[in-house]
Structure 1
Amino acid sequence: MASRLPPCKRHIATHDANGKSVYADFKEQTFNEAGTAGFVARSWSVANVPAKLGDDEDMKAYFAGPESVTSYQRPEIVVPSDGGKNNGANLVVVDLIPGGVSQMHQTVSIDFSICTIGTIIHELDSGERVTLNPGDHIVQRGTNHRWINASRTEPARFVAVTLPCVPFDVAGKKLEEVFKPDP
Structure 2
Amino acid sequence: MPTNNQSNSPVPTLRPCKRYIATHSPTGQSIYAPSPAQVYNVANASFGGMARSYALASLPANLTHDVDLKAYTAESGPTSYRRSEIVIPSPPGGGGGGGGGGANLVVVDLKPGGVSAMHRTASVDFSVCVVGEVEHELDGGQKVRLLPGDHIVQRGTMHRWSNPSETEPARFVACTLPCIPFDIAGEELREVHLPSPTKRGSKL
- Give the TM bin, normalised by the shorter chain: over 0.9
TM-superposed deviation, 1:64: 1.6
Counterpart for residue 2 of structure 1: 10
Match of 1:157 in 2: 171
Tell whether 2:52 aligns with 1:38: no
* Alpha-carbon shift at residue 59 of structure 1 (Å): 1.0
CA distance in 1, matches of 2:28, 2:121: 39
TM-score normalized by structure 1?
A: 0.96
C-alpha distance in 1 between matches for 2:183 and 2:20: 39
Deviations 1:114-141 (A, max 9, x none): 0000111100000000000000000000
User: Can you list the C-alpha shifts for 1:46-105, whole angstroms capped at 9, x where unaligned?
Assistant: 000111111111111112232x11011111011012452452000000000110000000
Among 146, 170, 175, the residue aligned to 1:132: 146
3-state secondary structure, aligned to 1:127 = coil
One-letter amino acid of the counterpart of residue 155, structure 1: P
Instruction: Return the TM-score normalized by structure 2.
Output: 0.86
Aligned counterpart in structure 2 of residue 111 of structure 1, from 125, 128, 132: 125
List, as ranges, runs of 4+ consecutive aligned residues in structure 1 with deviation greater than 6 Å.
Answer: none
Q: Which moved more, 1:107-116 or 1:26-35?
A: 26-35
Shift of 1:24: 1.1
* Cα distance in 1 for residues equivalent to 2:104 and 2:68: 12
- Structure 2 residue aligned with 1:17, among 8, 22, 26? 26
Q: Structure 2: which amino acid aligns with 1:178?
A: V
Unpaired runs of 5+ in structure 1?
none
Q: Structure 2: give runs of 5+ residues left out of the alignment.
A: 1-8, 198-204
- Using the alignment, how far apart are the partners of 1:40 and 1:18 within structure 2? 36
Name 1:78's counterpart in structure 2: 87
The counterpart of 2:64, out of the listed 47, 54, 69, is: 54
Check the 8 A contact 2:36/2:73 in 1, yes or no.
no
Give % identity: 59
Count of aligned positions: 182
CA RMSD across the alignment = 1.1
Name 1:178's counterpart in structure 2.
192
After TM superposition, the structure 1 stretch with the greater mean CA deviation from structure 2, 120-129 or 21-30, is 21-30
SS in 1 for 2:86: coil
Higher strand share: 1
SS at match of 2:113: coil
Q: In structure 2, what is the Cα distance between the partners aligned to 1:5 and 1:34?
A: 18
Q: Within 1, Cα distance between the matches of 2:84 and 2:36?
A: 18
Q: Structure 1 pair 44/52, CA: closer, same or farther in 2 (3 Å)? A: same
